Amino acid sequence: GAVVSQHPSRVICKSGTSVKIECRSLDFQATTMFWYRQFPKQSLMLMATSNEGSKATYEQGVEKDKFLINHASLTLSTLTVTSAHPEDSSFYICSAQRGAGRLQEQYFGPGTRLTVT
Amino acid sequence: DAKTTQPTSMDCAEGRAANLPCNHSTISGNEYVYWYRQIHSQGPQYIIHGLKNNETNEMASLIITEDRKSSTLILPHATLRDTAVYYCIDFSGYQKVTFGIGTKLQVIP
Banded model confidence at residue B1, pLDDT cuts 50, 70, 90? low
A46:B91 CB<8 A:
no
Cα-to-chain-centroid distance, residue B91? 13
Mean pLDDT for A53-59 is 90
Averaged pLDDT of chain A: 93
Query: Which DSSP category does A59 fall into?
Result: P
B2:A34 CB<8 A:
no
Residue of A nearest to B45 (CA): A108
Whether pLDDT at A101 is above 80 = no
Min CA distance, B22 vs chain A (Å)? 16
Is the separation of the CB atoms in B52 and B67 below 8 Å? no
Banded model confidence at residue A98, pLDDT cuts 50, 70, 90? confident
d(CA A43, CA A46): 10
Q: What percent of chain B has pLDDT over 90?
A: 85
Q: What percent of chain A has pLDDT over 70?
A: 98
Q: What is the pLDDT of residues A4-35, one digit of tens each?
A: 999 999 999 999 999 999 999 999 998 899 99
Min CA distance, A17 vs chain B (Å)? 24
Cis peptide leading into residue B109 (ω within 30°): no
Q: Which residue among A107, A108, A111 sits closest to B41, beta carbon to beta carbon? A: A111
Averaged pLDDT of chain B: 94
Banded model confidence at residue A64, pLDDT cuts 50, 70, 90? very high
Mean pLDDT for B58-82 is 97
Chain A CB contacts of B98 under 8 Å are: 46
Chain A CB contacts of B101 under 8 Å are: 42-43
Chain B CB contacts of A93 under 8 Å are: 43-44
Whether pLDDT at B32 is above 80 = yes
**How many CB contacts within 8 angstroms connect chain A with chain B?**
53
Residue A93 contacts B where some CB pair is shorter than 8 Å = yes
Is the separation of the CB atoms in B93 and B34 below 8 Å? no
